[in-house]
Amino acid sequence: MPADQMADLTLGAIFTSEKKGSDESGDGSESKPFKTILQAMRHAGKEPFPTIYVDSKDPNAAESFEPAAKSQLKKIQKLFVRESHKNVGKEQREAEDAVKRQQNLEDARKIKISEDSSLPVARKIRIFEGASNRDSRVKVYGWVHRLRRQGKSLIFITLRDGTGFLQCVLNDQLCQTYDALTLSTESSVVLFGKLKLVPEGKQLLVATSLTWTIGN
């Protein structure tokens, strides 16, 4: 390799090859070149870029690579700048969203839901006992089998406890508590509420309180 190209290598030259390169598995070296100049620029990260080599246009040339033409680099550089701006905007939005999520969680910690002492005491049952406790206030322990959120004020849960499955619904402020916002499948919870019979013949627990059990 000529001396001037050897000097480029010491500065971190990057090789690309449309013929044998790969943007996925390449590393920019002469033996494992990238496929595109854009990927070479991404690898460099910022300007000024090191010398970027492409396939030699002369099939009879002694070297397999030659420096990319300035006009070619200029065209790809515009794409790189545009992409970089998009990435910066995306990172900024993600950072702002993370701050909002954290603020929402902090606000949710302030929401306290307590059982109405004027209501009958909730009876602890297992899911298979639901049929004999319809229209009664119950307390059910179990795991969240399925979870679906609809807007900010409605959460549907399929609860299981080893004896069966129970459809549950949380609404309004109960959906905005810290426990509700951090709820996920396989969470171990205890739900308080009233059992209702729905048209399909199944049971629905209209929850009035949600608490994670120990271990979550």
Question: What local confidence, expressed as pLDDT, does residue 67 receive?
Answer: 95
* pLDDT (tens digit per residue) in 82-106: 888 888 777 788 888 888 888 888 9
What's the CATH class of domain 3-81?
A: alpha beta
pTM (2 decimals)? 0.53
Q: Kindly list the domain boundaries of the chain, sorted by start residue.
A: 3-81, 123-212
* pLDDT (tens digit per residue) in 173-211: 888 888 888 899 999 999 998 888 776 666 777 777 666
Q: Looking at the domain 123-212, which fold is it?
A: OB fold (Dihydrolipoamide Acetyltransferase, E2P) (2.40.50)
Distance CA(69)–CA(200), nearest Å, equals 70
Residues with Cβ within 8 Å of residue 143, at least 6 apart in sequence:
159, 160, 161, 186, 187, 188, 189
* pLDDT (tens digit per residue) in 24-40: 999 999 999 999 999 99
Judge whether 184 and 107 are in contact, CB under 8 Å. Answer: no
Q: φ and ψ at 130, to 5 degrees?
A: -60, -40
Instruction: Give bridge partners of residue 146 from the DSSP assignment.
Output: 158
Domains 3-81 and 123-212 agree in fold: no
